């Protein structure tokens, strides 16, 4: 069987779109710096985000834990000193990304709005108007080809 150039390009575009993965992003709009760590079966080095800074990682499935969490603290050593942290958890399952937001050891962004959203309006938002998690489940999902962004001090 012989394919035309147009058919080959169409197949390549289809394969690329079927395998393209979005990113989990964190954008810091707070008037103070924050520190992020990517945590799964291993913990990344810390990344400090000044006001206006951002961090992103392509969705992936952790081979041991399945999911990953981007942990955010206001204190640069907060992950290791039990300071309040906000956890942006992500779990890639096939063509779907599952995401949620939670706090541990207190509310790191108390008094500051935090939002998880996507440019794709079909992806459900998570909104904490005062930086404190509401009662109930925060788990949402979206197509894994879409970026999902946690905006701090939105």
From the number of C-beta atoms within 10 Å of its C-beta (0-12, 13-18, 19+), residue 112 rates as: buried
What CATH code is carried by the domain that includes residue 43?
2.60.110.10
Per-residue pLDDT averaged across 20-48, rounded? 97
Q: Looking at the domain assignment, is residue 4 inside a domain?
A: no
CB 49 within 8 A of CB 78: no
How sure is the predictor about 10, in pLDDT bands with cuts at 50, 70 and 90? Answer: very low
- In this predicted structure, what is the pLDDT of residue 2? 53
Q: Looking at the domain assignment, is residue 16 inside a domain?
A: no
Structural domain for 41, as ranges: 21-152
Please say if the pLDDT value at position 7 is more than 70. Answer: no
Number of domains making up the chain: 1
- In this predicted structure, what is the pLDDT of residue 5? 45
The verdict on pTM exceeding 0.75 is yes
CB 77 within 8 A of CB 122: no
Please say if the pLDDT value at position 13 is more than 60. Answer: no
């Amino acid at each position: 069987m012989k394919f035309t150039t147009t058919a080959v390009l169409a197949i390549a575009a289809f394969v690329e779109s079927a395998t393209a993965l979005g990113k989990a992003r964190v954008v810091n709009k707070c008037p103070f710096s924050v520190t992020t760590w990517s945590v799964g079966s291993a913990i990344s080095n810390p990344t400090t985000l000044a006001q206006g800074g951002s961090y992103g990682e392509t969705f992936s499935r952790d081979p041991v834990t399945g999911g990953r969490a981007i942990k955010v603290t206001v204190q640069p050593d907060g992950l290791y000193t039990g300071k309040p942290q906000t956890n942006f958890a992500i779990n890639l399952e096939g063509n779907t990304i599952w995401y949620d937001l939670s706090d541990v050891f207190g509310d790191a962004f108390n008094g500051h709005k935090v939002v998880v959203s996507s440019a794709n309006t079909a992806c459900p938002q998570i909104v904490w108007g005062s930086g404190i998690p509401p009662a109930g489940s925060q788990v949402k999902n979206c197509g894994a080809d879409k970026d999902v962004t946690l905006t701090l001090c939105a």
